[in-house]
Amino acid sequence: MHIAVCMKQVVDLEHIRIRPETREPVLEGLPVKFGGFDKNALEAAVRIKEADQTTKVTVVAAGSAKLKDTVKEALAMGADEAVLLIDAAFEGADSGGSARLLATAIQKLGDVDLVLLGEGSADEYSGEVPARLGELLGVPQVTCVRELEILQGGGIRVTQDLEDELEVVEVDLPAVVGVTSELNEPRLPSLTAILKAAKKPVQQWTAGDLGVTADMVGAGAAKVQTLSNRAPEQARKGLVYEDPEEGIVEVVKALRHEGVLKT
Amino acid sequence: MSSTLVYSEREAVRLELLAGAREIARARQLSVAVALLGPGSAERAEVYFAHGAEQVFVAEDSMLGEQQTDACAQALAQIATQAEADLVLIGSTRRGRALAPRLAQKMEAGSVTEALGLAVHEGRLLVRRYSLGGNTVREVAITSPKAVIAVVPGTFEVAQADAKVDGAVVRVPMALTASRARVVEHKKKQVGAANIEQAERVVCIGRGVEKREDLQIIEALVKALEGELAGTRPLAYEFGWIPEDRMIGISGKAVRPQLYVAVGLSGQIQHAASIRGSKVILVINKDKSAPIFAMADYGIVGDLYEVVPRLTQALQRGP
């Protein structure tokens, strides 16, 4: 079986600062990494491979040149190889463009049976790419997956985590599966795994390699245009008491005054 | 003439979206239609006319009995064509968040999920949603002729059922390709007594609570407040101290109570996005550099094992 794991390089959200004057985030110079759910997807793929050595795991990721560094962790976690989609033509894509780019790369790989990815990316958490990818590839898509099992004789059985129920679904392959963090605990690669990863094949595909243009997968194809992206105006009072004694008295008084206690 | 089409797998959410769609439709002078999927769904059509829908489109194909995303997306695309819909509003539930982009891909439409609000300005559809892990709010404009927007439940209020629309039920014959995904089992989740999303007061605990037995202290506070207990992911999922339907955060629920009390939790950014709608936020934490204090209306720096019991007593004493 050939599994493609789509991963997204995102800025490390723990390091984001907000400029107080403009309420805009400072993103320049921040470290980048793969999102948490993406690693759950990769971990699931590697476990399938460990149970069945004929399985091949390919990471497919689009992004900036920093990907060449970022992808090393994924290879150390157990992916066999990586395809990096790096080209100025891919910049400014909305989720439709990103999905089309990934779909084109997956079709170029040719023999992919299962596409695994995070249910949502760490930064936007829109969950759009798994759904659009399913449609573009013409295959079923299941998202919010917290359990995944390969069935004898092909196909998979997955458990979808919905608000008030779990839904168990059997899906023919090929399929697209979006996973949640409940699926597994991604491994921390060992030193030997990190050293071995350096020798694993990494291909880089450009717009020319894929036969696409910015008007198909980049800014020219975007149907959603960002007007602004700012921290919400903070209207919190921020009255913090360092003396608990005083704090309890004042807080109870204030909560009564606010009218938020049961009357 | 184009229209706005509304769909969710939940009736309560359909009614909310219908109210929102009517507001938007007024600005654009368009009609509003509702889609109902699955066998027997036409029975509820009258409800939507009372809430102001001009048309109700019904697809009763047996393949729509289970809410499989690819089948529902096919059905809605066919209905959207018949309704001449250029805007489709879908409830951003977990199913809806998967359905909306798939439908958008079929319709060659721009899409946004988890929308917090939408407006029409100078003929353009503007949508707001959280971004960068909840640190910021992104405002976007849809630049394509068609749009599919998944709106967070609770964004619009259900309108009075006083419309006297003499609407039409339109049965749409379906040409569906069978899904290659089959539902084999439904398992009910362990469901707690209350719905934390609707609670007026919520006490949410984090890793600062050291042992399961210590929940007693917290439960006393919850009782004094007549509120509901909630927790962060480690408490619900890793430790299993509270049921998962009381989990707040990115893979759990978002709450917007009158009063939100954070006890012994640091407030990772995703947590912040899930509690932002709270009217008043009280934080109790012994680490005064905990990020959650940045969101506090009121904060008490102190050991929860001392502060919580005394706060409970103070609340019980009454004014």
Encoded tokens for B164 = 């006297």
C-alpha separations of B32 from A108, B51, B162, B170 in Å: 42, 11, 16, 13
Name the 3-class secondary structure at B157. coil
CA atoms within 13 A on the CB side of A120: 20
Cβ-Cβ contacts under 8 Å, A165 against chain B: 186-189
Residue contact A236–B297, C-beta within 8 A? yes
- Please state, in angstroms and rounded to a whole number, the distance separating the CA atoms of residues B199 and B254: 11
Optimal mutation site among B63, B131, B195, interface A, most CBs of chain A within 10 A: B131
CB-based contacts of A104, cutoff 8 Å, min separation 6: A210, A211, A212, A217
- Please state, in angstroms and rounded to a whole number, the distance separating the CA atoms of residues B196 and B192: 9
Cβ-Cβ contacts under 8 Å, B307 against chain A: 244, 247-248
Residue contact B300–A94, C-beta within 8 A? no
Q: How many CB atoms lie within 10 A of CB A257?
A: 9
β-bridge mates for residue A18, sequence order = A25
Q: Which among B152, B140, B165, B135 is positioned nearest to B25, based on CA atoms?
A: B165
CATH code of B3-171, in short, is 3.40.50.620
Residue contact B185–A162, C-beta within 8 A? no
Encoded tokens for B304 = 């929860």
pLDDT at B163: 81
A141-150 and A156-161: which strand pairing?
antiparallel
Cβ-Cβ contacts under 8 Å, B101 against chain A: 95, 99, 126-129, 131-132, 135
Encoded tokens for B69 = 């995303």
Query: DSSP for B88-152?
Result: EEEE-SHHHHHHHHHHHHHHT-EEEEEE-EEEEETTEEEEEEEEGGGTEEEEEEE-SS-EEEEE-
Each residue of A101-146: pLDDT tens digit? Answer: 999 999 999 999 999 999 999 888 899 999 999 999 999 999 999 9
Q: Give the domain ranges of chain A.
A: 2-221, 233-263
pLDDT at A173: 97
pLDDT at B236: 87
Q: Give the domain ranges of chain B.
A: 3-171, 196-317
CB-based contacts of A178, cutoff 8 Å, min separation 6: A41, A117, A118, A119, A120, A127, A130, A141, A142, A143, A144, A145, B98
Residue contact A224–B143, C-beta within 8 A? yes
pLDDT at A143: 96
Cβ-Cβ contacts under 8 Å, A244 against chain B: 300-303, 306-307, 310
Longest dimension (CA), chain B: 66
In the predicted model, residues of chain A with pLDDT beneath 70 are none
Class of domain A2-221: alpha beta
Q: How many CB pairs under 8 A join A and B?
A: 270
CA angle (B300, B303, B308) in 5-degree steps = 70
Predicted-assembly ipTM surpassing the 0.90 threshold: yes
- Please state, in angstroms and rounded to a whole number, the distance separating the CA atoms of residues B16 and B14: 5
β-bridge mates for residue A226, sequence order = B140
Instruction: Look at the block and give the residue holding tokens 């007024």.
Output: B26
Residue contact B113–A126, C-beta within 8 A? yes
Contact B139, B124 (CB under 8 A): no
Contact B181, A175 (CB under 8 A): yes
Tens of pLDDT, residue by residue, chain B (319 residues): 589 999 999 999 999 999 999 998 887 778 999 999 999 999 999 999 999 999 999 999 999 988 899 999 999 999 999 999 999 999 999 999 999 999 999 999 999 999 999 999 888 999 999 898 888 899 999 999 999 999 998 889 998 888 877 888 999 999 999 889 999 999 987 665 568 888 999 999 999 999 999 999 999 999 999 999 999 988 888 888 998 889 898 777 889 899 999 999 988 767 887 888 899 999 999 999 888 998 899 999 999 999 999 999 999 987 6
Name the 3-class secondary structure at A129. helix
Encoded tokens for A29 = 């110079």
pLDDT at B319: 66
Residue B22 to chain A, least CA–CA distance (Å): 23
Contact B99, B64 (CB under 8 A): no
Are B3-171 and B196-317 the same fold in CATH?
yes
Q: Which among B133, B127, B151 is positioned nearest to B10, based on CA atoms?
A: B151
Instruction: Report phi then psi at B19, rounded to 5.
Output: -60, -45
Give the strands of the sheet with B55-59, arranged side by side: B110-115, B147-151, B85-91, B3-7, B31-37, B55-59, B168-171
pLDDT at B193: 55
- Please state, in angstroms and rounded to a whole number, the distance separating the CA atoms of residues A72 and B51: 55
Give the DSSP H/E element, type plus range, for residue B310: helix B304-317
Residue type for A221, please? A
Name the 3-class secondary structure at B180. coil
- Please state, in angstroms and rounded to a whole number, the distance separating the CA atoms of residues B3 and A203: 47
Encoded tokens for B79 = 């209905």
Cβ-Cβ contacts under 8 Å, B197 against chain A: none
Residue contact B97–A143, C-beta within 8 A? yes
Predicted TM-score of the model (pTM): 0.88
Instruction: Report phi then psi at B152, rounded to 5.
Output: -60, 130
Query: DSSP for B233-282?
Result: HIIIIIS-SS-GGGBBSTTSB----SEEEEES----HHHHHHHTT-SEEE
Q: Which among B150, B174, B133, B103 is positioned nearest to B267, based on CA atoms?
A: B133
Contact A31, A10 (CB under 8 A): no
Look up the CATH architecture of domain B196-317.
3-Layer(aba) Sandwich (3.40)
